Every structure is written in C-alpha cells, then in structure tokens.
Amino acid sequence: MFHVWTHFADIHHIQYWTVYGTLVCYVQRRGLLPHDLDIGVLILVQNTENLIPFSDAYFSSVYEIKLHPQWNVVGYTNRSYH
C-alpha cells in the first residue's frame, strides 16, 4: 500500500512524512507490518488542496484518501474531533 501512495505523491509533487505506526514500523522493523491496513502520512497544508478532488474518487475497493473535514482550520483551539 505504501508504494502506491509514494507513486501517487511523486506524480502529484506532494511532499510527505511518515507518522504514527508507519514511522514506528520503519524505525523498528525497517518496513511495514504485513497486516497493517493503513499508512500514516502528513503533508504540507498547501498540498492538501490538491487531494480534495481525489478524496471522492473511487480508486478501487482497496484504497481511499481520507481528509479531516477541518484540515484548513488553523490553530488547535478551533478544531473539533468529535
């Protein structure tokens, strides 16, 4: 799954960083867990707008892009995670 994301990000010139479990696995195991069903990446806010058209696109039954609905709200006090 990660190779699909890296290919997509390269094509669309999206700079990203691995985070959460994805980063932990790469540091500890030098690779992803075979049973992990997602990847954690962070991208620059200016690149997030480029993902909006793809968040509703149907790639396959396997992949989807999820964007937090308040991705463009600046500052942690204005965000809602409920």
What are the pLDDT digits (tens) for 3-25? 788 888 888 888 888 888 777 77
Residue 17 has a pLDDT of 85
Domains identified in the chain, total number = 1
pTM above 0.85, yes or no: no
What are the pLDDT digits (tens) for 30-81? 777 777 777 788 887 777 777 777 766 666 666 666 666 665 666 656 655 5
HSE of 37 in the Cβ direction (CA atoms, 13 Å)? 3
Range of the domain at 17: 2-78
Burial (0-12, 13-18, 19+ Cβ within 10 Å), 22: buried
